[in-house]
């Protein structure tokens, strides 16, 4: 879903990250508030004041989205779910969880936690607005707080639409899951609703462009609709993937004849003899048959090319750890989650300190495709 992300800060043990696409929203929101929204309500204020209000409103929206997603993340943590962080991107924010909630109840509680936080923020801003107006009589302060109260209630209403993966869709999924005791079926129903809602937003966007000549709003609706439709379909495929891999271990999919790189050769020789030959992005490194670490193409890229002939592979090899290695008895789903967290497509398989194989994402996906084709599920 995301490209290169940047860590901003950590709060309550949750890392807040930002995708470069979010800056598009920051600029658009600030410009819209300063150029249209606030001037239409407070026409007698100065232009610099409008821009101050616009930037403050955009920052307030940023904080509101972070707190909304933090509500999801902290509730998920209460149910033992691993949270990789919160990422802000062009369409808002998302709390990144490695696995699905373990029960319908946990799904419901995690889903409603975000909107509950937004309601509290909205009510808090409404109360603060009254206090600030009595204390200062400032239209600028009142305007920003009124906007933040309003936008948080809008976020609640939109997010509670029963279309997966919106919060309302997750609430509906939890209810259907509890009723039928079938997560896949519940996800299928709510994902189809989510996909349909995405198509509806696209249609509304096209109408805005053609009938109202509002290209910006129309394109925005179309983009949100496309995102929701794709996210709904991907979420269903993710659940199908998990269900088909349940009970399978890494041992079934690993390649025992792994390609290994000698520790003593130069980085230049590794590139010529291994990277260009096998096209892998990740190689185990050995010394007289003993595993000493691993090297990725990313590590090679970070080394100046002039150093490639002078540096040995062993000098840049990273030690084996829980970030790049699993055991043969590790659950295949856990291995996929690790690949996702680490941003890699291959992992070392180690048993009793010895390299026994490699597990590759493509092998897992090939198995899934074949199983779905043969069994129709």
**Domains detected in the chain:** 6-245 (no CATH), 250-375 (3.10.580.10)
Question: What pLDDT, on a 0 to 100 scale, did the predictor assign at position 325?
Answer: 84
For strands 261-262 and 282-287, give the pairing. parallel
**Is residue 217 scored above 80 in pLDDT?**
no
Q: Which pLDDT band, with edges at 50, 70 and 90, does 9 fall under?
A: confident
Question: What pLDDT, on a 0 to 100 scale, did the predictor assign at position 157?
Answer: 92
**Is residue 303 scored above 80 in pLDDT?**
yes
- The tens digit of pLDDT for each residue in 39-85 reads 988 888 888 999 999 999 999 999 998 899 899 888 988 888 877 77
- The tens digit of pLDDT for each residue in 95-154 reads 777 677 888 999 999 999 999 999 999 999 999 999 988 888 888 899 999 999 999 999
Place of tokens 């109260």: 149
Share of the chain above pLDDT 70, in %: 95
Quickly count: other Cβ atoms within 10 Å of residue 280's Cβ: 17
Question: What pLDDT, on a 0 to 100 scale, did the predictor assign at position 175?
Answer: 94
The Cα–Cα gap between 143 and 95 comes to: 30
Question: What pLDDT, on a 0 to 100 scale, did the predictor assign at position 354?
Answer: 80
Q: Which pLDDT band, with edges at 50, 70 and 90, does 373 fall under?
A: low
Asked if residue 281 lies in contact with residue 345, where contact means CB atoms within 8 angstroms, the answer is: yes
Question: What pLDDT, on a 0 to 100 scale, did the predictor assign at position 376?
Answer: 55
- The tens digit of pLDDT for each residue in 240-250 reads 777 777 778 88
Mean pLDDT of all residues in 316-330: 82
Mean pLDDT of the chain: 85
- Two tokens at 268? 């230049």
The Cα–Cα gap between 138 and 45 comes to: 11
For strands 6-11 and 261-262, give the pairing. unpaired
Question: What pLDDT, on a 0 to 100 scale, did the predictor assign at position 375?
Answer: 60
Asked if residue 16 lies in contact with residue 7, where contact means CB atoms within 8 angstroms, the answer is: yes
| Burial (CB count within 10 angstroms: exposed 0-12, middle 13-18, buried 19+), residue 355 | buried
The Cα–Cα gap between 178 and 173 comes to: 8
**Is residue 279 scored above 90 in pLDDT?**
no
């Amino acid at each position: 879903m995301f490209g290169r992300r940047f860590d901003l800060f950590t709060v309550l043990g949750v890392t807040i990250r930002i995708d470069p696409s979010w800056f598009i929203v920051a600029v658009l929101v600030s410009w819209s508030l300063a150029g249209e929204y606030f001037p239409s309500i407070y026409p007698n204020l100065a232009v610099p004041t409008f821009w101050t209000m616009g930037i403050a409103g955009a920052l307030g929206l940023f904080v509101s989205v972070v707190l909304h997603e933090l509500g999801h993340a902290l509730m998920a943590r209460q149910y033992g779910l691993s949270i990789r962080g919160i990422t802000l991107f062009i369409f808002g924010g998302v709390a990144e969880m490695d696995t699905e909630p373990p029960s319908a109840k946990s799904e419901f509680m995690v889903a409603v936690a975000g909107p509950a936080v937004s309601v509290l923020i909205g009510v808090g801003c409404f109360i603060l607005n009254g206090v600030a107006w009595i204390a200062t009589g400032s239209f600028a302060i009142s305007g920003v707080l009124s906007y933040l109260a309003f936008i948080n209630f809008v976020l609640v209403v939109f997010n509670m639409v029963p279309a997966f993966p919106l919060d309302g869709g997750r609430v509906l999924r939890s209810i259907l899951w509890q009723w039928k005791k079938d997560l896949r079926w519940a996800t299928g129903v709510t994902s189809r609703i989510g996909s349909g809602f995405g198509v509806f937003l696209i249609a509304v966007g096209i109408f805005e462009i053609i009938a109202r000549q509002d290209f910006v709003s129309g394109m925005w609706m179309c983009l949100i609709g496309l995102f929701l439709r794709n996210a709904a379909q991907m979420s269903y495929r993710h659940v199908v993937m998990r269900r088909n891999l349940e009970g399978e271990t890494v041992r079934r999919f690993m390649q025992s004849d792994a390609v290994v790189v000698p520790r003593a050769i130069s980085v230049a020789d590794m590139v010529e003899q291994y990277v260009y030959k096998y096209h892998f992005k990740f190689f185990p490194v050995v010394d007289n048959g003993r595993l000493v670490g691993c090297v990725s193409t990313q590590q090679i890229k970070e080394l100046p090319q002039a150093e490639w002939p002078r540096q040995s592979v062993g000098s840049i090899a990273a030690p084996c750890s829980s970030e790049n290695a699993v055991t043969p008895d590790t659950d295949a789903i856990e291995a996929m989650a690790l690949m996702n967290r680490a941003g890699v497509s291959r992992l070392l398989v180690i048993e009793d300190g010895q390299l026994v194989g490699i597990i590759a994402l493509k092998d897992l996906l090939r198995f899934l495709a074949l199983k779905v084709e043969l069994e129709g599920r």
